[in-house]
Structure 1
Amino acid sequence: MIENLSLQDMNKYYLLTIMYLIVLAHVSQAQGVINGVVLDKSGKTSVPGATILIKGTAIGCSSNNEGVFQLLIPSDTATLVVTSVGYERRELRTKAGDTLIVSLKTECIVDFFYTRYIGVNYYGGALNSPIGGTVSIFYPHLLRYMNFMPAFRIEGGLQKGVNRNRQTVIKFDADEIFAVCDYNIALNFVYNNIELKKQNWGFISNKAYARIYGFPLQRTYLVLGGGHARFVDKESKRSEYGICVGLKKNIGTFSKYLFSFNASSIRWESCWQIQAGIEREFKKAVTSIEFNKVSNYSEVNLKVGYLFSY
C-alpha cells in the first residue's frame, strides 16, 4: 500500500509516524505507579473493596482485603477519588511514585442502609408479667428533603402475668429528624401502662424524648425529655410531671450487627424512675434485656424477635 503513495504522501506518512512515536514515548515516560492503603479514620482497620478512580476518567482499581492498592496513572500528577460503602468520598491530589495512606471517615448516616421491616417479638417480664409480645413496623426515610430524612418506627405490645398483672407499651420513634455530618436529632414518644392487681398499684406514663448526638460523642446519644404520669395505689391517685436525662450508645451497623446500650433516669415529683437496657441486632434477629424501676415496682424484661422485610 505504501508503494502506491506519492513521495509527498510518503513524507507526510513518515512525519505522522515520527510524531506518534514521540508522543507515545513521552506518555510512556510520564506513566507512573501509585501505591497506597485505605484505612478507616482511626487508622486501625483496613477498608477492603474501596474504589480508587482517577477523577474524570474510568481508570481505577480496588483495594484488596488488606486495603492495599496499586494504580498506574497516565501522567505525572492525578487527582484520585476514593469511595467505599459506608464511608465519605475523598479526593486526593497525588503524583507518580507516591505511596499513600488514605483515611476514610465513616459516612454521616450509617443507618442510611436500613431496610423496611416488620418485627415480631416475644416480650415478657421475669418478675411480674412473663407472657407477652410486641409487633413493630419500621419505615426508613419515608420523607426526604435535604437533611430532613426521618425513619419511622411504631411498636406496640402487651404483657400478662399471674394475679392479673398487666403491662402495655406503645412506642413511636422518628430517627434522623435532622441529620448532617456528625450531628443527628431523633424524637421518641412512649406510652406505658403498668397494673399490679394484687398490690392495687398502677402506673401510667406518657413520655417524650429528644435524642441528640454530635461529633464529640461518636454515635453516643444524649437523651433529654420529660413526661406526665399517674400513680394509683391503695391510698391515693395522683398526677406528676418528670424530667428525663440519659445516654444511648450504638455500636456497629444494622446490616451486620448492632449493639445498643441505653440508661436513663426520670425524676418524678415523688420518686425516681431508672431504666437501662442492652439490645443486639444481628442480621434479622433481635435480642434485648431491659430493666425498669419506679417507686416500689421493679421489672426485668426479656425480648427475642425476628425482623421480616417487606
Structure 2
Amino acid sequence: MKKIYTILLFLFPILGFCQFKIKGFVLSKTDNLGLPAQIIEKGTTNGTISNNYGEFELTVTDENAILTVSEVGFQPKEVKINGQSNLSIILKESCNIDWFDYHNIGFGLLSGLINTPLGGQLNLSFVPLKKLPLIKTFFSYQSDLKRNNYLNGSIGLYHLFVTCDFDADINFNYKKLEYEQKLDLSTFNFSTDLNLKKIGLIVGLGSLRNQIDHKIKYGPTLGFKKNTSIPLRLNIEAKSTLNKHFIETNIEVSRQFNSLTTFLRFYSIKSFNELSLGVNKDFSYHRKKPIINR
C-alpha cells in the first residue's frame, strides 16, 4: 500500500506539469462581438462553452494542443495554442449564396423613345456541366422599320471566384448600329465585373469598327454596378468606353418583381442617343437552383 502512495506522489506533480490552463475570447469577425461558442481540445472530449461575452477558460493536456472552435452560423476554426495562455479567436460568418439566375429563359418587350420605337429581347442562362460557371446570353433588337436598326447581344461567364464578399464575372458584348444613313458601325466590348459587397466595379476594353472606312478604334471601359436597399431595390449599372474619337455610354436601371423585371436603358455613341423602356418575363426551366456554400 505504501508503494502505491509513493507512486501517486510522484505522478501528481507530473500530471500537474502536463496540464496547461488557457483563457480567451471568441469573437465575430463582422462586429467584434462575443460569441457563445463550443471549444474542444482536438482528439479529446475535453471542452467548454464560452459565455455570451465570448469569454472562456479551459485546461488542456498540452501547451501545444489544438482547439476546435465552432458556433452555429460561423465557419469552424482550429487554433494551435503554441504555449499562449491568453487567446483571442475570431470566427468568420458562414454563408449560403443562392443564385436566382440559374436555368432561366426570358422574353421581353422594349421601346426606344427617340429613334427605335419597336423592339424585343431574349435572354437565357444555363450551366453546361456541373461545377462550371454559369453562362448567360442576351440578345435584343430595336428598329423604326426604316433606316434605324440597333442590335445588342452578349454572352458572359458568371459567378467566378465566389466568396461571401466577392464575385467576379466576365462579359463579351457586341452591338451593331445603323442610324439615319449617318452611322453604320459595330462595337465589341470585353469587360470583367468585380462584384464586392456594396458595389461592383467594371473594367475592360472596348472597340469601334466603322463599316464605311473599316477602321477599328480601341479604348478602355470603366463603370460600376450598385444594388440599392429597401424600398427602391433598384439595380443600377453604368459603363463607358473612352476614346478620343468616340465615347460609348451604357446605363441601365432595373427593378425586379419576382420573375418580372422592368428597366430603363440609355445608350449613346457619336450622334446616336436612345432611351428605352421595357419589361422582361423570366421562366425557370430547372426546379433546383444551386446553392454555393462558403
TM-score (norm 1): 0.59
Residues 292, 298 of structure 1: 8 Å contact kept: yes
The equivalent of 1:176 in structure 2 is 159
Residues 113, 274 of structure 2: 8 Å contact kept: yes
The equivalent of 1:201 in structure 2 is 183
The equivalent of 2:139 in structure 1 is 156
CA distance in 2, matches of 1:203, 1:247: 25
Q: Which amino acid aligns with 2:235?
A: S
The equivalent of 1:230 in structure 2 is 209
1:296 aligns with 2:280: no
Aligned-residue offset at 1:273: 1.7
Q: Which amino acid aligns with 1:82?
A: V
The equivalent of 1:241 in structure 2 is 218
* 1:59-208 paired onto structure 2 within 5 Å: 81-83=71-73, 105=93, 107=95, 110-139=97-126, 142-144=129-131, 149-196=132-179, 198-208=180-190
CA distance in 1, matches of 2:277, 2:110: 6
RMSD after superposition: 3.7
- Give 4+ residue runs of structure 1 displaced > 4 Å after superposition: 52-56, 88-91, 103-106
Aligned-residue offset at 1:185: 1.7
CA distance in 1, matches of 2:105, 2:245: 38
CA distance in 1, matches of 2:100, 2:115: 38
CA distance in 2, matches of 1:182, 1:131: 40
Aligned-residue offset at 1:53: 11
1:250 aligns with 2:234: no
Aligned-residue offset at 1:264: 1.3
Aligned-residue offset at 1:151: 1.4
CA distance in 2, matches of 1:173, 1:210: 10
Residues 205, 229 of structure 1: 8 Å contact kept: yes
Q: Show structure 1 runs of 5+ residues with no match.
A: 1-38, 44-51, 57-76, 92-102
CA distance in 1, matches of 2:202, 2:38: 44
Aligned-residue offset at 1:279: 1.4
Residues 277, 288 of structure 1: 8 Å contact kept: yes
Q: Which amino acid aligns with 1:139?
A: F
Cα distance change of structure 1 residues 300 and 142 upon mapping to structure 2, 3 Å threshold = farther
Q: Which moved more, 1:261-270 or 1:176-185?
A: 176-185
Secondary structure, aligned partner of 2:116: coil
TM-score (norm 2): 0.62
- The percent identity for this pair of structures is 22
1:211 aligns with 2:201: no
Q: Which amino acid aligns with 2:221?
A: C
Residues 117, 308 of structure 1: 8 Å contact kept: yes
Q: Show structure 2 runs of 5+ residues with no match.
A: 1-27, 41-57, 59-68, 78-90, 286-294
Residues 130, 159 of structure 1: 8 Å contact kept: yes
Aligned-residue offset at 1:249: 1.6
Q: Deviations over 1:115-154 (max 9, x none)?
A: 421100112321111111111111258441xxxx511111
The equivalent of 1:270 in structure 2 is 245
